[in-house]
Amino acid sequence: MIRKEAVTIIGKSVGKNPIVSANGFMSRDLFETNDKESNFYMIGSMGLASSIGLGIALKNPKKQVFVFDGDGNILMNLGSLVTIGSLKPKNLVHIVFDNNSHESTGGQPTNSSQINLAKIAKTANYKIFVIQTKTKLISILKDIKKSQGPIFLLIKISTSKERSKRVSWNPKTIRDRVMKSL
Where do contacts with another protein occur on this chain (CB under 8 A)?
20, 40, 42-45, 47-60, 77, 79-80, 82-83, 87, 171-172, 174-175, 178-179, 182
* Beta-bridge partners for 152: 94, 128
Kindly write down the DSSP assignment for every residue of 59-75, as one continuous string.
H-TTS-EEEEEEHHHHH
3-class secondary structure, 168 = coil
11 versus 85: smaller Cβ distance to another protein = 85
Indicate the residue type of 120.
I
2 versus 76: smaller Cβ distance to another protein = 76
- Please, what is the minimum distance in Å from the beta carbon of residue 17 to another protein? 13
20 versus 137: smaller Cβ distance to another protein = 20
- Please, what is the minimum distance in Å from the beta carbon of residue 166 to another protein? 15
SS3 content of the chain, % helix, strand, coil (to 5): 45, 20, 35
- Please, what is the minimum distance in Å from the beta carbon of residue 44 to another protein? 3
1 versus 174: smaller Cβ distance to another protein = 174
Cα R_g (the chain), whole angstroms: 15
CA angle 148, 14, 9 (to 5 degrees): 115
- Please, what is the minimum distance in Å from the beta carbon of residue 57 to another protein? 8
